Amino acid sequence: MTERKGGFWEKGFEAYQVNWSWNKKTDKWLQKMCIGRTLNFPCGMSKVGDVRADLDPSVKPDVIADLLNPIKWPWKRLEFDTVVCDPPFSFYSKFKWIFRLRDLTKRRIILSTPAMDIRLGKQWKREIWATSQCTIHTILRLWQIFTLKNKMLDDFNGL
């Protein structure tokens, strides 16, 4: 677990929690959004996914892997139908790992992101969702859900 600093944390507060705003409501919503075999990476405290991966062994992932080191990922191209990813927002200063996640999935990527415009290519339809976390202060978590357009047509036609 890592210490968070910056913003109000500099006023004497420290946080050591993993997925500080995660709750069961978010897990249930994510499960509904997933299609088929799902990778959750980094999984943190979430129980969503057929395969849960994280760098932190204390969250008891199925696979220990580093999101920022795609060369060492143990998965094959197009191994999953859905990839769920809720990384620390500091990871968004680099983007290579996002495009490597795209290579792992056949159908859908679900990313928790800061307020930024992420595009994966013309073949991906993007939806933006916000989920609320029930805490002392309401926290909105932004999700960008990318679905391959040709797979949406296959689902619609019952193929």
- Full DSSP string of 59-89: G--SEE--TT-GGG--PPTT-EEEEEE---G
Q: Does residue 33 belong to any structural domain of this protein?
A: yes
Domain housing 139: 21-156
Report the distance separating Cα 83 and Cα 85, nearest Å: 6
Between residues 64 and 118, the one the model is more confident about = 64
pLDDT of residue 56: 92
Q: Does residue 9 belong to any structural domain of this protein?
A: no
Residue-wise pLDDT for 98-116, tens only, equals: 888 999 999 999 998 878 8
Q: Does residue 7 belong to any structural domain of this protein?
A: no
Residue with token string 């094959």: 76
Q: Does residue 68 belong to any structural domain of this protein?
A: yes
pLDDT band at 16 (very low <50, low <70, confident <90, very high): very low
Report the distance separating Cα 144 and Cα 126, nearest Å: 7
Q: Does residue 6 belong to any structural domain of this protein?
A: no
Q: What is the mean pLDDT of residues 53-78?
A: 93
Backbone phi, then psi, for 143, in 5-degree steps? -125, 135
pLDDT band at 134 (very low <50, low <70, confident <90, very high): low
Domain count, the chain: 1
DSSP bridge partners of 124: 148
CA dihedral 55, 65, 60, 28 (to 10 degrees): 100
CATH code at 74?
A: 3.40.50.150
pLDDT band at 22 (very low <50, low <70, confident <90, very high): low
As a whole-number percent, the residues of the chain with pLDDT over 70 amount to 74
Highest mean pLDDT among 25-29, 97-101, 106-110, 140-144: 106-110
Q: Does residue 128 belong to any structural domain of this protein?
A: yes
Give pTM, 2 decimals.
0.77
CA dihedral 87, 112, 131, 49 (to 10 degrees): -70
Q: Does residue 15 belong to any structural domain of this protein?
A: no
Between residues 70 and 138, the one the model is more confident about = 70
Q: Does residue 3 belong to any structural domain of this protein?
A: no
